Structure 1
Amino acid sequence: MSDHHNNETDEELSEARERVADDTLDFEESQAEAGATDGYDENSIVTLSPKEHVRLRPGMYISSLGDGSSSEDGIYVLLKEVIDNSVDEFNQGFGKVIDVTVTETSVTVRDRGRGIPLGSVVDASSKLNTGANFGTRGNLKTAGMNGIGIKAVNFLSSEFVVQSVRDGKMKRVSYCRGDIVEESEITDTEEPNGTTVSFTPDDTLFKGYRYREEFIVPMIKNYSFLNVGLTINLNGTKYVSRNGLTDLLKEYMTNEPLYPIIHLTTDDLEVAFTHASQYGEEYYSFANGQNTVHGGTHLTALKDAISRTIKEYSGKANLEGSDIRGGIAAAISLRLEEPVFDSQAKTKLTSRDIAPDGPTIAKYIGDFIKTDLDNFLHRNKEVADAIIRKAMDNERERKSMSTVTKKAREQSRKISLYNKKLFDCRSHLNDTRGDEEKKLASSIFITEGDSAAGSITKIRNVETQAVFSLRGKPKNTYGKTKKMVYENQEFNALQVALNIEESIDGLRYNKVIIATDADVDGMHIRLLLLTYFLQFFPDLVKRGHVYILQTPLFRVRNKKTAKRGSRNADKMQEETYYCYSDEERVAAIEKLGANAEITRFKGLGEISPQEFEGFIGPDIRLDRVSLHKEDGLGEMLRFYMGKNTFERQNFIIENLVVEDDSQIS
């Protein structure tokens, strides 16, 4: 691939950007001259090619760009788009093995399907709105419906190669940012049928990106859970499931189930659920193989159907839906014709009907659950009794809290009108309208005290960044009931700000960021907040919404200043390095010399707003809080936050590390 070719494609994109910018500027200038209602004419209209549009507005096609540090970043959407095509082949009965190879910067996917028709390889990989799923009913229960996905991958990649093998014949096409670099003739081959796609995301768009295994492995596991009998080899490791959504719940549940998982299936619907001794509701929803992390019509129908069926079976009129669902862990996988999602990223199902001429999704799921779950409960009395006991325990707790929750909700209404602790932003995750990229960028910083909140508030991005200020240390919630959350003004205000009282479906911010000082008190507050989330809203952590803000521990700078008029002024300007670890501090000192000034930041309030701007901007450093079954949530919380003072004291003594502050100053 030549540099000349790269320059040409970069120039084309730059020209497209300049045309849009110039026309926008002309439009704004004409408005200023002629008034707000004039100046809109033919020159204001710009037409972009499909490739230009995808590259200029990638958020419309993959939601966000990102660098791979979040599971929702665009490089994982690109990977998913390619795998989806191979999975669709499996679901139509072709190819039971998919090989996936992922390095830090590139991807190769090889399936054993039928292979793209050789005469259509170029069209299928480079012409938008071109595909095999238009107007053919037999192919409509698939993920790809719009003929966009693989083309978007092509246009957003610096290198993209597609190879198809069909019945002893092969064709291969190489691209650079959507332009053909090399196209082979159709040749003979001994390779088995199938399609191979290799791509490298364009680092001029995905700046500093890196594929991370922690986000890819769960994606691959989900593909295996949703497609029983499919084997996916990821970098040499085999993933295969025999029990579908039952295996999924066993993989992701962090608390022991109260009864064996109930697993119900029919042709196009699979449901699995159980209850555990936990607060909140935990759901995993999928539509045509897409992980609909934001739910949708199918998940709403499942919740209603389970609540209604169990209530009717129990004969207890006083049970509410929240009583029945409290502590539930459930998964649903639905396949439907012509699915409609909220965006190309397919994170929420918005379809109303199961098929163009079929019943509504609510009726289809409701009828299935009413029949099959009711039959199951009558045949398995021990399981049914365990479900009803859990629901009645939830009911008793709800009633015992009724006075407290009524008072708290009255306070919540006042808080919603004016929450003095919340400095809100304009874009929110649960907005029904608005820019998808801004919704995903929505975040809230939870800070300790007004000092830290003040620094962040002054320089935050008011479009996507909110700030919530804590007053001192919150209470330890370990072993407490949810009554404490309502009685504690601090926690009640926080759950109102996040909008998670009933469930996290209405969560207002995609990222909940704990921003505390890098000292003992700050670490303690961090643990108290994590305990609160893990105790009452574990799904918030499991879905990857909770993060820890990294802030620098040290500032290392030289104090050289140049005399006015000096020829060496540029060379003698102050150099500053912000260091997040001792290793970075040592490296900075080596660069600036032994006389460098070293400042140890002990609190966020010590960092000026001007300095803080760089720490919460595009280069923000966040640690995502993850939770896995092997972490042993119950035992972990008991050890670190329980009343086992002597046991914990011995652990601290045995693992204590003493820092020598004299080496820092």
Structure 2
Amino acid sequence: MGLFGIGPCVANALSSRLTAEVRREGVRWMQEYERGVALAPPGAAGPAIGAGTTIAFRPDDTVFGPAQCEFDVLAECFRTLAFLNRGLDITLTDEGAPGGPRVARFRFPGGVRDFVGALGVRSGAPFRSDVLGFEREVPRMAGTIEVALQWCDSREEDVRGFTNSLATGTGTHEAGLREGVAAAIDAYARARGLQTAADCIGEGLTAVVSVTLDDRDFVDFARREPGGDAVRACVAQAVREYLGAWFEAHPEQAAAVITPVLRAAARN
């Protein structure tokens, strides 16, 4: 799609009408499409302030039938995108809502740390640790890793993985996170003459691991599993190193995290 990139292609193919606007270098460029076909080449439509892209479209009723967007569904999607892209500002407006426009704005300066904090509040369980996290650029996997974790008084585990802002099922990066957590807890416990059980590591853990791959090297794009063993190993190493250092620097919270793990291992 040239000036407008490949991002709108799917929306364009499923729309009865789509208008793309790009503001770049002081010029506002526009192009209109009807059922995926450009009505004219991109054209300058006047001066622009700032930079950005605006896509407006109507779902094609020959594909979807009568279509109606659900505000709450869109809000949850945009909230997640804002968590995963620190500093991104998203505003959702329903101009046809009864009683006047309904507006929701999403912006999370803390990124995935804010995400984990929100998930922890939803769980309602008392916390055993602060929200901790890190971001690391890893040339070996041609991308970046962002991780946040928190433990609470619960036997449940809530681990969520994302690749290039897309939710995954059981991706290799999620496996790497669990391996890294298990290795850090096991090393800390063994250094004190204790033993843990890997199958108990996740009790009470809330975590988000977000991987951004520059070359989008997916093993299985349909399942959105990134980069195979290299990504798994990189995530595991990064988590193990960060969490191991954090345990050493915060012995009281480390004990609050590891003691229930030891109890769970004893139960099993």
> Hey, what does 1:163 align to over in structure 2?
21
Question: Equivalents in 2 of 1:151, 1:304: separation in Å?
Answer: 38
Q: What is residue 277 of structure 1 aligned with on the other side?
A: 153
Aligned equivalent of 2:81: 223
Which residue matches 2:221? Answer: 343
Q: Secondary structure at the match of 1:242?
A: coil
- Give the Cα–Cα distance (whole angstroms) in 1 for the partners of residues 61 and 167 of structure 2: 26
Secondary structure, aligned partner of 1:186:
strand
CA distance in 2: counterparts of 1:264 and 1:166, whole angstroms: 33
Tell me the residue number matched to 1:198.
56
Gaps of 5+ in 2: 94-102, 138-143
Q: Deviations over 1:52-92 (max 9, x none)?
A: xxxxxxxxxxxxxxxxxxxxxxxxxxxxxxxxxxxxxxxxx
Matched, 1:245 2:112: yes
Partner of 2:235: 365
Instruction: Give, as a single letter, the amino acid of the residue that structure 1 aligns with 2:131.
Output: I
Aligned partners of 1:164 and 1:196 also within 8 Å? yes
CA distance in 2, matches of 1:371, 1:240: 29
Number of residues of Structure 1 aligned to a counterpart in Structure 2? 247
- Within 2, Cα distance between the matches of 1:280 and 1:261? 17
The reply to whether residue 177 of structure 1 matches residue 35 of structure 2 is yes
* Equivalent in the alignment of 1:393: 263
Does the aligned pair in 1 maintain the 2:30–2:45 contact within 8 Å? no
Deviation at 1:374, TM superposition (A): 0.8
**Offset of residue 162 of structure 1:** 0.8
Report the alpha carbon displacement of residue 157 of structure 1 after superposing the two structures with TM.
Answer: 0.6
Alignment RMSD (CA, Å): 2.3
| Code of the aligned partner of 1:303 | R
- Whether the 8 Å contact between 1:156 and 1:177 is mirrored in structure 2 is yes
RCO higher in structure (CA 8 A, sep ≥6): 2
Distance 2:63 2:104 in 1: 30
**TM alignment of 1:414-453, pairs within 5 A:** none
* Residue in 1 that maps onto 2:92: 234
Unaligned runs of 5+ in 1: 1-115, 125-130, 132-146, 354-359, 399-665
1:255–1:278 Cα contact (<8 Å) kept: no
1:255/1:276 contact within 8 Å kept? no
After superposition, residues 240-319 of structure 1 pair within 5 angstroms as 240-253=107-120, 254-256=123-125, 257-267=127-137, 268-292=144-168, 294-315=169-190, 318-319=195-196
Q: Which has the larger radius of gyration?
A: 1
Change (3 A) 1:263 1:166: closer
String of CA shifts for 1:275-307, please: whole Å, max 9, x gaps.
Answer: 223233211212222222x13111111111111
Matches within 5 A, 1:242-641: 242-253=109-120, 254-256=123-125, 257-267=127-137, 268-292=144-168, 294-315=169-190, 318-341=195-218, 342-343=220-221, 348-352=224-228, 360-398=230-268
Give the letter aligned to residue 124 of structure 2.
Answer: N
Distance (Å, rounded) in 2 between the aligned partners of 1:187 and 1:329: 48
Code of the aligned partner of 2:113: T
The structure whose residues are more often helix, as a share, is 1
**Match of 2:134, SS?**
strand
- The share of aligned pairs that are identical, in percent, is 22
- Whether the 8 Å CA contact 2:14–2:35 is kept in 1: the answer is yes
Q: CA deviation at 1:210?
A: 2.1
- Tell me the TM-score normalised to structure 2 length: 0.83
* SS of structure 1 residue aligned to 2:185: helix
Moved more, 169-178 or 374-383: 169-178
Provide, for residues 605-660 of structure 1, a one-character-per-residue CA deviation record: whole Å limited to 9, x for no partner: xxxxxxxxxxxxxxxxxxxxxxxxxxxxxxxxxxxxxxxxxxxxxxxxxxxxxxxx
